[in-house]
Structure 1
C-alpha cells in the first residue's frame, strides 16, 4: 500500500523488550502491524531436561527468566513433589512463598527500571535497582546465590534457614518498603510519566484473559485473576493479602497494580516469615528413581500464570517436560489487539512494550 513501509525494531534497540525483534509495518509514525521475531535465545531447555537425571533436571527449570526465576523453580519443585508422591514440611512451603514473593518484588523493581527509562525518568529508575539489590543480597545470604537459587527442590528446600532468619528477613521488608515508597511517589506522581502512560495501550481484563494473558496485564484491566487466590498452592490459603486491580487497563494502571502488588507481597512475606524458624524438618527425602506418573503445577509469577507439566514413565529421568509461560501472548495477541484498537506511534511502542513486561527468554526456552 502506498505510504507504508517496513521497519525492523530490536533486538538491539534500547526500546525493545529484551532479546526479541519486531517487523513493524508503518504508516508515517503510526505502527499498523507488529510481527514478533523470536528465536534469539532458543536453547531447548525442555528437551535438555528430558535427557538429564531427576536431580540434575531441575537446575534448568528456573533459567528461563533471569528477572523472576523463583516461581519457575517453585513450580517445577511442586510438579516433582507430585511425581514422587511426597508432601514437603510446612516450613518448606512457607519458605517457598517467601522466595517467590521476594522474586516478584525484585522483578517488579527491575521492570520499574526499564519502564521509567522508557519515559526518561532515570533517577527513580536507579532507586528501583537499589531496592532490588537489597533483595539479591538476602538471596545470597540464605541460598548462596544472587540470581538463580536452586533452593526449592523436590521434597522441600535444599537446606535449613540461618539462625537469625526471622529478624533479618523482617528487617529487609521494611527497608525495601521505604525504598519502594520513594520510587512509587517519584513515578506515579510524575506528570511526564502520567502523560506518557495514561490512555496508552488500553486492554480490559476480560479481553486480556481471552487473548491468553494473565498477571498484571489482566489485573490492570480490572479483573482480579490471581492463581494464589483462585487455586491456592503452598500455604497461600493461610495468609491474608489483597489482589490489586486497575480500572482503565492502560499502561498507567499496569504500573499502579505492580506497585500495589509489591506492598501485598511484603505482607505475605511478613506473615510467612513468622512460620519459618531454624531447626526441625525442612525436606522429605526422595528416591533416585521416580515412579510412573504425572506432575502438574501452576503458580503466579510476576508476569502471570506459569504452569509446568512433567510426565514420568519410571526411571532416572523425566519422560516429558512441558512449560507454559506468560510472555508469548503479551507480544503477540495482546500487542496486536492494542495496535488494532488505538493509534500507536513509534514513540509510544517502547512504552507499551515495557508496560506489558514480557520476559523474552521464556518465549524461546
Structure 2
C-alpha cells in the first residue's frame, strides 16, 4: 500500500441498488478509487448439489433450473441432457429444435433484463423500461406453452414435457418480430447515448488472454475479440444445423460487452426463426425413460446467457444420483475478473456498479 493515502473500508451490498442481487462486497478505497474488491457470497445459500443427491431423478428437474432465475432454461436442458447420456438415449428431432427455441428465448429475456440493470446503473431508465416490456412478451410466450412465466419445466429427461399449441409457429414468429422491433429501440437509446458511452467505454478492459486466464466465458470473453461459443465450438442439440454468427468486440470493455449482448439477441432470433420452421407438428416430442437410472456418468455443457455451464452427474443405479456437480458461470465474473480489473485499472466507487452490471452475473448461481 506504499504511496497511497489513507485507505477506507466500506461494504457494498447486498442491500444496495447497484449490487447484482444477493451478494456483498468488501471494498477498499483510496479516495474515490476502488483498489480491492472482495466478494461476500452466502446470502442465498441453498446447497443444490447436495439436495439433488437426496431427491429422485424426476424431482431434480424442478431443482435443476432454480439457481439462475434470469436464465433458467439452459440449466434444465443441461440436466436433461446429462441424464439422457446416462440412459444412452437420443431424443426426437422435434424436441431438439424446441429446446433450442426455449434456450434462445431465455437468452433474449436474460439480456433484456440485463439492459434494464445496466440502464439503471448509468441513469438511463426509460430504455430500461422498454426492455422489460419486451421481456414481458417472452414470459407470456413461456406461459402459453408451459403455464409458467419464470421457471418453465419444459425440457425433461427424454425430450419435452408439453404438447405444442395449435398456434405455436405463428405465435413464436409474432413474438420474435415484436421483440426485435423493441430491441432495436433499446439498443439505439443505450449504445447511442453519450452518457452511456462515457460511463462504459474504457471501463473494465480485458484482453482475450486475460479473460481466459481469469475463467471468463460468454459475452465477457467474446467482447475481447475471441469468438468462442459452445453452440459452435462443440455443437449440441441441433445447433450445428442452423446458421448464426458469433458476435465479438475488440476493446473488451464494458461498452463492448453491452454491444455483444445486443448483437447476440439478433442471432438468437435468427436461430428461433429457423428452428421453428423445422418442427413437425405430427412428430413425437419425448421418449419415455424409466424411473430408475443405470450406473454411469453424464456430463452436459451448454452456452447460457452468461457463458459456459456444465453439469456432471454420477449414477450408481437406482432412483437418485450419487453425485451432482454444477459449474458456476458467474463465479469467475464476481471474483477473479472483478479483483483483477480493480487492481490494475482506475475504477471509482461510481464506476463499480456499472462494472458489475457489465459483467451480468447471476449471483444465486454462486450459492448453489
1:358 aligned onto 2:361: yes
Please name the residue that 2:253 is paired with.
250
Q: 2:250·2:256 contact (CA, 8 Å) conserved in 1? A: yes
Please name the residue that 2:153 is paired with.
150
**1:98, 1:48 → 2: CA distance?**
29
**2:243, 2:73 → 1: CA distance?**
21
Please name the residue that 1:69 is paired with.
72
1:39 aligned onto 2:64: no
Aligned counterpart in structure 1 of residue 300 of structure 2, from 285, 297, 302: 297
Q: 1:211·1:333 contact (CA, 8 Å) conserved in 2? A: yes
Please name the residue that 1:84 is paired with.
87
Please name the residue that 1:210 is paired with.
213
1:106 aligned onto 2:109: yes
Q: 1:325·1:363 contact (CA, 8 Å) conserved in 2? A: yes
1:194-273 aligned at under 5 Å gives the runs 194-273=197-276
**1:6, 1:67 → 2: CA distance?**
31
**1:41, 1:88 → 2: CA distance?**
35
**Residue deviations 1:230-275 (CA, integer Å, cap 9, x gap):** 0000000000000000010000000000000000000000000011
**2:260, 2:102 → 1: CA distance?**
21
Q: Secondary structure at the match of 1:364?
A: coil
**2:226, 2:134 → 1: CA distance?**
28
Q: Secondary structure at the match of 2:209?
A: helix
Q: Secondary structure at the match of 2:77?
A: helix
Q: 1:54·1:288 contact (CA, 8 Å) conserved in 2? A: yes
The structural deviation recorded for 1:207 is 1.3
Aligned positions, number:
365
Q: Secondary structure at the match of 2:278?
A: coil
The structural deviation recorded for 1:362 is 0.2
The structural deviation recorded for 1:85 is 1.4
Q: Secondary structure at the match of 1:246?
A: coil
1:173 aligned onto 2:170: no
**1:40, 1:84 → 2: CA distance?**
36
**Residue deviations 1:69-94 (CA, integer Å, cap 9, x gap):** 00101100100111111110000000
Please name the residue that 1:341 is paired with.
344
**Residue deviations 1:16-68 (CA, integer Å, cap 9, x gap):** 11110001111111100001000000001111111111111121000001100
**Residue deviations 1:281-311 (CA, integer Å, cap 9, x gap):** 1100101111000011000000000000000
**1:220, 1:205 → 2: CA distance?**
8
1:108-147 aligned at under 5 Å gives the runs 108-147=111-150
TM-score by length of 1: 0.99
TM-score by length of 2: 0.98
**1:279, 1:312 → 2: CA distance?**
34
**1:58, 1:210 → 2: CA distance?**
33
1:185 aligned onto 2:197: no
1:329 aligned onto 2:332: yes
**Residue deviations 1:146-203 (CA, integer Å, cap 9, x gap):** 0101110001000221111111101111110000000000000000000000001111
Q: Secondary structure at the match of 1:332?
A: helix
Q: Secondary structure at the match of 2:366?
A: helix
The structural deviation recorded for 1:277 is 3.4
**1:280, 1:332 → 2: CA distance?**
46
